Amino acid sequence: MLLDIDDCQLVLVDYQARLMPALSGGEGALQRALFLGEVARRLGVPVFGTEQNPDKLGPNDAAVRALCQRTYPKVHFNACHSDLISGLRPPAKAGGNARSLPKHLQKPAAPVPGRNTVVLAGCEAHVCLLQTALGLLENEFDVWVVTDACASRRERDRDAAFDRLAGNGVELVTSEMVAFEWLESCEHPDFREILPLIK
């Protein structure tokens, strides 16, 4: 099964500038997240971010923040307890003249075209990323975690997170896998624009 660009949204979890230096491979994970966010932006894939307790830990890296359409602050490790879900799956809008008619005569709500695949990357892999991925699964999203854009303080914690995620049905991919699956072909109109980012 390959990623379908029209069904994808990208969520970048807690790339907070104060946190990154403490993580094993943090700088590399940040660079892969920036690559992924830029590819998503250029190809029209919605990009969202989260920040864990930003009053205490500070904001996301400025370049990550700039790529996100919206950044959701949170205090729960699972970002699904923030407003993230409503951003990923906006509520249906009521049909016309809803206020003037009794409920049984109102037009049904118009279905909102959904993007049900969440491409997820972030820190720390074994805490906020893991809990958010499992929360997204519970909310019936397909979840793909970008392993080279994830980090934890200890590599063993990161690897344990990947094992657990795979065991729960999360697809594990790399940032280049995502980029090439979104492009599908070297004939994609944006291929030449994206290629320098890959090289």
Nearest to 36 by CA among 195, 178, 192: 178
Q: Taking Cα atoms as reference points, which of 167, 164, 166, 176 lies closest to residue 144?
A: 166
Residue 56 has pLDDT above 80, yes or no: yes
Residue 97 lies in a domain: no
For residue 93, the model assigns a pLDDT of 56
Count the domains in the chain. Answer: 1
Domain contains 107: no
In a domain, 94, yes or no: no
Contact 54, 16 (CB under 8 A): yes
User: Which residues lie across from 52 on neighbouring strands?
Assistant: 74
Q: Answer whether residue 65 is part of any domain.
A: yes
What is the span of the domain harbouring residue 64?
5-88+112-198
What average pLDDT does the segment 87-106 reach? 63
103 belongs to a structural domain? no
pLDDT, residue 129, reads 98
The H or E element that residue 71 is part of is strand 70-74
Give the domain CATH number at 61.
Answer: 3.40.50.850
From CA 69, how far away is CA 115, in angstroms rounded?
Answer: 15
In a domain, 104, yes or no: no
The predicted-structure confidence for 99-133, as pLDDT tens digits, reads as follows 555 655 666 555 556 899 999 999 999 999 999 99
- In tens, the pLDDT along 24-34 reads 999 999 999 99
Average model confidence (pLDDT) for the chain? 91
Would 71 be classed as within a structural domain? yes
Is 145 part of any domain?
A: yes
Residue 77: name the closest of 146, 135, 151, 157 by CA: 135
Report the share of the chain in percent with pLDDT over 90: 83
pTM (2 decimals)?
A: 0.88
